[in-house]
Homo-oligomer: A and B are copies of this chain.
C-alpha cells in the first residue's frame, strides 16, 4: 500500500497492462483525470519503480509509459481490483 493507495494509481497501472502507451493516449484513457494529477501520479509511479518513462528526442515531443518488472508483479492485484 502507498504504492497504489490513491484515486488514480490503480487506473493508470491498469491501463498499462496491455503494453506501453503514449502519454496523451494514456491520459485520454483515464477518463476524468486532470492534467496535473496525471503527470504527478505517473511521476510517483516512476519514482516507486512501477512504471518506466521513455522520452523520444523528436518534435513534437513524444513520451511513452510502460510497466516495469516491479509493476508487472502487481498484475494479479490490479486485475482483481479491476472494476
Interface residues of A (CB under 8 A from B): 1-2, 5, 7, 10, 76-77, 80-81, 83
Q: CA of A5 to CA of B1 in the docked complex: distance in angstroms?
A: 10
In the complex this chain forms, how many copies of it are found? 2
Closest partner residue, chain B, to A7 (CB atom): B5
Report 12 cross-chain contacts, Cβ distance below 8 Å, ordered by A residue.
A1-B10, A1-B81, A1-B83, A2-B83, A5-B5, A5-B7, A5-B10, A76-B80, A77-B77, A77-B80, A77-B81, A80-B80
Across the interface, which residues of B come within 8 angstroms of A1, CB to CB?
10, 81, 83
Distance in angstroms from A11 CB to nearest chain B CB is 8
Q: Which of A2, A7, A77, A81 has the most CB of B within 10 A?
A: A81
